Structures are given as C-alpha cells and as structure tokens.
Amino acid sequence: MQKTKKKTKFNNGWCFAIVNNRLAEIHFNKKLGIWAHCYVNRNEFSKREKKMINEDMKKCVFSYRKGFYNNKLK
C-alpha cells in the first residue's frame, strides 16, 4: 500500500506585495513566514507579470520595521 502525499495550497516561494508603500517581491517559507523582500520597478516586467502584480497587490500589504513584517490588511 502506497502513502499519498497531501497537497498543500501554500508552499515555499515568492509573490509581489506592497512593503512600506513600495512595490516589492517577498520571499516566504510556509513554516517561518516572510523572510526577505526586495524592492522592484514595475517597468521591468512583462504584461503577464504586471497582471500578477495587480492581483497580488490587493492581497499582500505589509509594513517592515526593525526586522518584523506586519500585515496591514488584518
């Protein structure tokens, strides 16, 4: 009998977000949460990626201060 792996909705990865009122890519781990971010310019991305930015900006708004991320939407 084989065991099947349970698929999770969220995993390790990255997404676009607003951090301190600027567009950024955030990198996260499902166990640790957000562990890094880098600010980016919207002009550097393709049309498809700009659509992803618009979708992610509605869900992910954070403030970063003294090494901690705070979710502004919750």
Digitized pLDDT (tens) for each residue of the chain, 74 residues in all? 555 555 545 568 899 999 999 999 999 988 888 989 999 999 999 999 999 999 999 999 999 999 999 999 98
Q: Are 62 and 21 in contact (CB under 8 A)?
A: no
Is residue 24 assigned to a domain? Answer: yes
Q: In this structure, is residue 27 part of a structural domain? A: yes
Confirm whether 71 is domain-assigned.
no
Stated length of the chain: 74
H or E element that contains 16: strand 13-19
Long-range contacts of 38-42 (CB under 8 A, 24+ apart): 40/16
Please tell me the pTM assigned to this model.
0.77
Provide the domain limits for residue 56: 13-65
- Domains identified in the chain, total number: 1
Report the run of H or E that residue 5 belongs to, with start and end.
Answer: none
